[in-house]
């Protein structure tokens, strides 16, 4: 089966081109001006539209059990929503398993969750819930036999790891060719502030934000940067950055040529802590929390000046009614996380590209090219080069979209972006050449998604990030 995308503006991380794109057997096989359609070729007219690499969302939590609740999107509903939002690959975070379990235990479980369900391609990040010799031994096999070339550490929550464990993990992961990713928040500082707030009866959603101010996060970012340097300059990726101070620490590390990268998410660019003062403030409880407008502005500067590398969603959905039932007015009992996997591409396109903050190429770098390079998917994904998977999203900048949860495809009962006006509309999403979404409607198939064995971390590939 051949498909020819004609008359569009092709965009990749390097630039934009008036070219057509020919797809055969799910692969990009020609890219040139005015390609003539052969026999049996479906023509897709992309006049006036951007034709870009499908989105790669490297931060989701489908089907995750956080102890007090299980997130309401599984690998079917979560990837369906992703596809409708222009994303063609996700890398999900394996959740914590039973106390003492090893890395392969969670890997087998996650393969069971995803196989036969995912509608787009997927990989997993390993999760480190404790460190011992056995876990360190397992890491090489995870990278080279299982295709898991990134691992996440949490510095807070139930399975937080100590600095000593962090050092051992960083050192070994660098050695076996994996990227260490981290949720950086200072757990002791949060516990200290939370107990004072709770003792004073301050348990409303705004107190969630007050329990973990940006210094809790920035301190942990600074610490992780220094620990990574001490661990033989291990490569480090900071997830869900929410503030400018943390970004300043990262800029400083970069000036010292340290291999560090950072992700932010649409919620930290577009929602501020005023949300917690709304009647439905519990909808916005996540960690790190939403910050004030000054931090949002600082993150936008980082998006524009190249100091932020990726935009992912951290999609982790708990319905509003469940949040209310569990929390009953007490933020400490509310599961943390926001839905958003379907909105990332259009939000960043509208508020980034259409508002003139970033170029279309930078948009591609943030949403697809850089994630592919960092997480072992390049050159198969993250670009429109010959031989790459035909993962494509078509965006029409002339149309506009108003976000309305009733039209989304996740399993949550709300969107944090309800009523947001976006300039642009997602017209088509193709995953390996198959049309998985058209005009916001799902047209794919449950189980079509393939597990991606990712390549080991490669500093030559990350050297060319956009
Ligand atoms: O509050 C959040 N972000 N929940 C999802 C898990 C995590 O911390 O990434
Ligand atoms: Zn996190
Ligand atoms: Zn997360
Ligand atoms: Zn829904």
Ligand 1 atom 4: residue of nearest CA = 337
| pLDDT, the chain, mean | 97
pLDDT in tens, 178-203: 999 999 999 999 999 999 999 999 99
For ligand 1, atom 6, the nearest C-alpha belongs to 337
The reply to whether ligand 1 has any atom less than 6 angstroms from the CB of 183 is: yes
pLDDT of residue 315: 98
| 452 CA from centroid of ligand 4 (Å) | 27
Contact status, residue 152 vs residue 144, Cβ threshold 8 Å: no
Whether the CB-CB separation of 2 and 41 falls below 8 Å is answered with yes
Mutation to probe ligand 1, out of 58, 61, 69, 268 (largest number of atoms < 8 A from CB): 61
pLDDT, mean of residues 353-364: 98
User: What residues does each domain of the chain span?
Assistant: 53-383+451-462
* For the CA of 287, the nearest ligand: 1
DSSP letter (8 states) at residue 106:
H
Q: Which residues surround ligand 3, an ion (CB under 5 A)?
A: 314
* Residue 158 predicted with pLDDT over 90: no
Closest ligand 1 atom, residue 154 Cα: 8
List the one residue out of 375, 463, 383 whose CA is nearest residue 178: 375
**Both tokens assigned to 341:** 């996997």
Determine the Cα–Cα distance for residues 157 and 187; give it in Å rounded to an integer: 7
The predicted pLDDT at position 427 comes to 98
In the prediction, which pLDDT does 459 show? 97
Continuous H helices in 236-319:
244-255, 266-270, 293-305
Tell me the CA end-to-end span of the chain in Å, nearest whole number: 32
Helices within 177-282 (DSSP H only): 187-199, 205-211, 214-230, 244-255, 266-270
User: Which residues are near ligand 2, the ion (C-beta closer than 5 Å)?
Assistant: 183
Mean pLDDT over 24-30 rounds to 98
pLDDT of 1 higher than 90:
no
159 pLDDT tier (thresholds 50, 70, 90) = confident
Residue whose CA is closest, atom 5 of ligand 1?
337
46 lines ligand 1 (CB under 6 A): no
CB of 150 sitting under 6 A from ligand 1: no
Whether ipTM exceeds 0.90:
yes
Residue owning the nearest CA to atom 8 of ligand 1? 287
Q: Is the pLDDT of residue 36 over 90?
A: yes
Which residues does residue 231 pair with via DSSP β-bridges, in sequence order? none
Task: Give tens-digit pLDDT for 387-444.
Answer: 999 999 999 999 999 999 999 999 999 999 999 999 999 999 999 999 999 999 999 9
If you average pLDDT over residues 255-278, what whole number do you get?
98
Q: Which overall architecture, per CATH, does domain 53-383+451-462 show?
A: Alpha-Beta Barrel (3.20)
Element spanning 431, H or E: strand 421-431
Inter-axis angle of helices 214-230 and 244-255, to 10 degrees?
A: 20
How confident is residue 129, by pLDDT bands cut at 50, 70 and 90? very high
Is residue 191 a contact partner of residue 158, using CB atoms and an 8 Å limit?
Answer: no
Neighbour tally for 238: CB within 10 Å:
26
Give 104-120 pLDDT, tens digit per residue. Answer: 999 999 999 999 999 99
Q: How far is the CA of 316 from the centre of ligand 1 (A)?
A: 7
Q: Which ligand sits closest to the CA of 284?
A: 1
Would you call 99 exposed, middle or buried from its count of C-beta atoms within 10 A (0-12, 13-18, 19+)? exposed
Name every residue whose Cβ is closer than 8 Å to that of residue 196 and which is 6 or more positions away in sequence. Answer: none
Name which of 45-49, 168-172, 326-330, 362-366 the model is least confident about.
Answer: 326-330
């Amino acid at each position: 089966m051949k498909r020819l995308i004609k008359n569009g503006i092709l965009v990749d991380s390097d630039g934009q081109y008036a070219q057509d794109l020919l797809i055969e057997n799910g692969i990009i096989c020609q890219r040139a001006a005015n390609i003539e359609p052969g026999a049996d070729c479906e023509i897709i007219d992309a006049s006036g539209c951007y034709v870009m690499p499908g989105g790669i969302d490297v931060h989701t939590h489908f089907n995750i059990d956080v102890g007090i609740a299980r997130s309401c999107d599984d690998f079917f509903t979560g990837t369906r929503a992703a596809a409708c939002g222009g994303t063609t690959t996700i890398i999900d975070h394996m959740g914590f398993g039973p106390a003492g379990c090893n890395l392969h235990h969670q890997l087998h479980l996650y393969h069971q969750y995803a196989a036969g369900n995912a509608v787009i391609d997927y990989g997993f990040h390993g999760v480190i819930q404790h460190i011992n010799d056995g876990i360190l031994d397992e890491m090489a096999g995870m990278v080279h036999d299982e295709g898991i070339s990134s691992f996440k550490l949490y510095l807070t929550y139930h399975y937080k790891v100590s600095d000593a464990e962090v050092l051992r993990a960083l050192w070994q992961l660098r050695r076996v060719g994996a990227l260490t990713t981290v949720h950086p928040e200072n757990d002791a500082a949060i516990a200290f502030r939370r107990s004072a707030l709770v003792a004073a009866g301050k348990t409303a959603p705004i107190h969630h934000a007050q329990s973990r101010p940006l210094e809790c996060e920035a301190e942990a970012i600074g610490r992780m940067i220094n620990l990574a340097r001490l661990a033989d300059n291990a490569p480090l990726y900071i997830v869900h950055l929410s503030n400018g101070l943390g970004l300043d620490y990262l800029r400083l590390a970069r000036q010292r040529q340290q291999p560090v990268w950072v992700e932010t998410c649409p919620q930290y660019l577009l929602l501020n802590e005023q949300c917690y003062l709304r009647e439905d403030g519990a909808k916005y409880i996540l960690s790190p929390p939403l910050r004030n407008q000054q931090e949002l502005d600082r993150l936008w500067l980082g998006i524009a000046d190249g100091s932020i590398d990726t935009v992912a969603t951290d999609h982790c959905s708990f319905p509003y009614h469940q949040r209310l039932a569990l929390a009953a007015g007490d933020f400490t009992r509310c599961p943390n996380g926001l839905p958003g996997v379907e909105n990332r591409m259009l939000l960043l396109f509208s508020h980034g590209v259409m508002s003139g903050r970033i170029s279309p190429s930078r948009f591609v770098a943030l949403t697809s090219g850089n994630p592919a390079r960092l997480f072992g998917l390049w050159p198969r994904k993250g670009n429109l080069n010959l031989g790459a998977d035909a993962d494509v999203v078509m965006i029409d900048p002339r149309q506009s979209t108003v976000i309305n949860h009733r039209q989304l495809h996740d399993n949550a009962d709300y969107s944090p972006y309800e009523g947001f006006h976006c300039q642009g509309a997602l017209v088509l999403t193709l995953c390996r050449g198959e049309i998985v979404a058209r005009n916001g409607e799902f047209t794919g198939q449950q189980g079509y998604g393939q597990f991606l064995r990712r390549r080991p971390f490669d500093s030559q590939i990350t050297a060319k990030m956009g």
